[in-house]
């Protein structure tokens, strides 16, 4: 089934040479669109000297990097007046130069101030919502910047939901929240497509792991991760220690601060800062834990564990987007100390075949499955 639209302009706010869940999801969707549309032009943020070949984007995509050369004063002024993306000076010029069928905004912030312009030039506008962004900002920022962003986020997220011809979410939870908060007239189209790998991947089917090993991974410098981890170590880790006194817990990820490292040392937790290869650590672990209890969207580190066939224990917030794996019993969630104890006991008593977990993961989270869902929603909803 071919897509009925041929040419698209995609606008993303994510630095594609970076790391983290947002970047991963952006790559996945951009590359999927590149397999569906005949022509893709991408506007994306960049710094002077960035190598676009390292963005991990399909080579058929025409990338237009956009630098922000404003002074700090100008950036602050732009934020105060609600100009929260850098594309205002180039967006319309690109639309005038090329004949697009569709404009895709890769998160609602990227659409701020540009939706009305897009509707003048194209027949359809799609916005990808990585999360219910208002909650994400609230959980991940602080100070005056947080207050300003919360104010403007409410405005541009509402506009994106109501003025886009199609809204795409990564979890059913975010779909419900956007409907509840912004779509009270029920006129907006909101579809959950989920997340998926950003390229075709060959999954491992042989594993040599170290038994009695639990693993937590993530960006250890992100606020929601730090807050969740500190709370988890204080309140949940003692339960894990009592249940599994002979087990090792490893926490691995980018940029852990001194306070977190010291806390882990005090609790006999192994910390691996910014590992050269996360895959080696994942393969050699037996169980995966995702303690993130804040923020919206899908927690993409969960995909790391499942990709390597690890049964997962996670906070119920982190289970969003993994309903198929919960149903299969490969993801067990908790929301209290008591339910955490039950979740750990359940996976310890379970008999897991890592190849079966990988096979189930592949059905929903492979790049090919993502392309199929995206193409179907576009053809049926636009």
| Tens digits of residue pLDDT in 333-342 | 999 999 999 9
Do 277 and 253 touch, CB atoms closer than 8 A?
Answer: no
User: Please, which pLDDT band fits residue 207 given cuts at 50, 70 and 90?
Assistant: confident
Stretch 177-183: mean pLDDT: 94
Exposure pattern of 108-124 as b/e (b: 16+ CB <10 Å)? bbbbbebbeebeebbeb
Give the pLDDT confidence score for residue 316 in this predicted structure: 96
DSSP assignment of 274-308: S-S-HHHHHHT-SEEEE---S-SS--THHHHHHHT
In eight-state DSSP terms, residue 20 is S
User: Please, which pLDDT band fits residue 118 given cuts at 50, 70 and 90?
Assistant: very high
- Please, which residues bridge with residue 215 across strands? 250, 288
Do 258 and 224 touch, CB atoms closer than 8 A?
Answer: no
- Is the pLDDT reported for residue 21 higher than 90? no
- As given in the structure block, the two tokens for residue 33 are 């669109």
Give the pLDDT confidence score for residue 79 in this predicted structure: 87
User: Cα dihedral sign for 150, 151, 156, 159?
Assistant: positive
- Is the pLDDT reported for residue 209 higher than 90? no
- As given in the structure block, the two tokens for residue 26 are 């952006």
Distance CA 49, CA 24 (A): 22
- Measured in degrees and rounded to the nearest 5, phi and psi for residue 254 equal -75, 130
Stretch 314-339: mean pLDDT: 96
Distance CA 119, CA 122 (A): 6
Which pLDDT tens digit goes with each residue over 125-137? Answer: 999 999 999 998 9
| All structural domains of the chain | 7-196+366-381 (3.40.50.2000), 213-364 (3.40.50.2000)
Judged by DSSP in three states, 66 sits in strand
Closest to 288 (Cα-Cα) out of 258, 319, 265, 257? 319
Q: Is 150 exposed, middle or buried (0-12, 13-18, 19+ CB in 10 A)?
A: middle
Position with higher pLDDT, 294 vs 317: 317
Give the pLDDT confidence score for residue 18 in this predicted structure: 86
The answer for residues whose C-beta is within 8 angstroms of residue 335's C-beta and 6 or more apart is 315, 316
User: Please, which pLDDT band fits residue 19 given cuts at 50, 70 and 90?
Assistant: confident
Average pLDDT across the chain, whole number? 93
Q: Is 158 exposed, middle or buried (0-12, 13-18, 19+ CB in 10 A)?
A: middle
Which pLDDT tens digit goes with each residue over 34-58? Answer: 999 999 999 999 999 899 988 999 9
Judged by DSSP in three states, 56 sits in coil
Give the pLDDT confidence score for residue 25 in this predicted structure: 96
Distance CA 319, CA 232 (A): 16
Give the pLDDT confidence score for residue 143 in this predicted structure: 84
The pTM of the full predicted model, rounded to 2 decimals, is 0.93
- Is the pLDDT reported for residue 296 higher than 90? no
Stretch 277-287: mean pLDDT: 93
Stretch 71-83: mean pLDDT: 89
Q: How do the residues of the chain divide into helix, strand and coil, expressed in percent and rounded to 5?
A: 45, 15, 35
The answer for residues whose C-beta is within 8 angstroms of residue 49's C-beta and 6 or more apart is none
- As given in the structure block, the two tokens for residue 366 are 């492979």
Rg (CA), the chain: 21
Give the torsion through C-alpha atoms of 78, 79, 83, 85, to 10 deg.
Answer: 110
Which pLDDT tens digit goes with each residue over 230-270? Answer: 999 999 999 999 999 999 999 999 999 999 999 999 999 99
Distance CA 258, CA 263 (A): 8
Q: Whose structure tokens read 């995702």?
A: 290
User: Please, which pLDDT band fits residue 142 given cuts at 50, 70 and 90?
Assistant: confident
Judged by DSSP in three states, 326 sits in helix
Give the pLDDT confidence score for residue 186 in this predicted structure: 74
Share of the chain above pLDDT 90, in %: 81
């Amino acid at each position: 089934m071919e897509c009925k639209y041929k040419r698209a302009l995609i606008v993303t706010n994510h630095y594609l040479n970076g790391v983290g869940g947002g970047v991963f999801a952006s790559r996945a969707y951009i590359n999927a669109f590149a397999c569906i549309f005949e022509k893709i032009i991408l506007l994306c943020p960049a710094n002077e000297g960035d190598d676009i070949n390292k963005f991990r984007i399909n080579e058929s995509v025409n990338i237009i990097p956009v630098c922000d050369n404003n002074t700090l004063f100008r950036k602050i002024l732009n934020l105060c007046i609600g100009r929260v993306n850098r594309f205002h000076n180039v967006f319309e010029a690109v639309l005038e130069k090329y004949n697009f069928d569709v404009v895709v905004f890769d998160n609602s912030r990227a659409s701020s101030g540009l939706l009305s312009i897009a509707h003048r030039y194209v027949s359809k506008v799609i916005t990808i919502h990585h999360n219910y962004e208002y909650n994400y900002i609230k959980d991940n920022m602080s100070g005056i910047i947080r207050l300003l962003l919360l104010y403007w986020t409410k405005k541009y997220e509402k506009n994106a939901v109501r003025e886009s011809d199609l809204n795409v979410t990564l979890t059913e939870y975010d779909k419900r929240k956007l409907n509840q908060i912004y779509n009270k007239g029920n006129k907006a189209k909101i579809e959950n497509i989920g997340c998926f790998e950003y390229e075709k991947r060959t999954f491992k089917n042989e594993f040599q792991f170290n038994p009695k090993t639990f693993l937590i991974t993530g960006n250890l410098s992100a606020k929601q991760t730090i807050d969740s981890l500190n709370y988890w170590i204080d309140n949940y880790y003692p339960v894990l220690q009592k249940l599994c006194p002979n087990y090792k817990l490893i926490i691995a990820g980018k940029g852990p601060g001194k306070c977190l490292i010291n806390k882990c040392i005090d609790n006999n937790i192994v910390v691996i800062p910014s590992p050269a290869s996360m895959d080696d650590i994942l393969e050699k672990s037996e169980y995966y834990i995702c303690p993130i209890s804040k923020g919206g969207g899908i927690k993409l580190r969960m995909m790391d564990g499942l990709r390597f066939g690890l049964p997962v224990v996670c906070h119920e917030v982190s289970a969003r987007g993994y309903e198929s794996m919960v149903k299969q019993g490969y993801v067990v969630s908790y929301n209290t100390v008591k339910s955490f104890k039950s979740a750990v006991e359940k996976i310890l008593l379970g008999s897991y075949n890592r190849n079966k977990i990988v096979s189930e993961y592949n059905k929903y989270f492979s790049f090919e499955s993502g392309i199929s869902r995206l193409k179907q929603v576009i053809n049926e909803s636009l």
